[in-house]
Structure 1
Amino acid sequence: MTTTEFDTSLPSIRQLQELLRQKTLVEWKLVNGDSLIGKLAWQDHNCVCIVDSTDRQITIFKQAIAYYQAK
């Protein structure tokens, strides 16, 4: 049986949920060196979706994220 809920005991899940709730602007640094700035729109087990300053939605696989930091 698989679960669709996040394991909220994991700090990374709690941190992303807090960024989502607070609509915090975040810089996302990707493993390929690209940098994106936007607010978290949603997350699932594999991806996050951010919305940039032009309201463009960008879906990023979590494996592609080197790090992120609140702006």
Structure 2
Amino acid sequence: MSTNFYAIKLFVEALLSKYFGVKSQKGVTMIEYALIAALIAVIAIATITTVGTNLNSVFNRVGTALN
């Protein structure tokens, strides 16, 4: 497991334990992975949106240049 992923896992586990009182390791692990998956999804959506906008701009410039 990478060091960054392990650090995020420990951080999320500490937050869940402190603020939500989750003590079961099985429950904590399930919630951790769900939160990490949600974070990855948000980052992916933001990246794809940005790339899509930039790509649209490139196609518009190419189309204009061809006319």
Q: After TM superposition, is the score higher than 0.5? A: no
Q: Identify the structure with bigger relative contact order (alpha carbons < 8 Å, sequence gap 6+).
A: 1
User: TM-score normalized by structure 2?
Assistant: 0.30
Q: Highest CA radius of gyration, 1 or 2?
A: 2
Which structure shows the higher helix fraction?
Answer: 2
Which structure shows the higher strand fraction?
Answer: 1
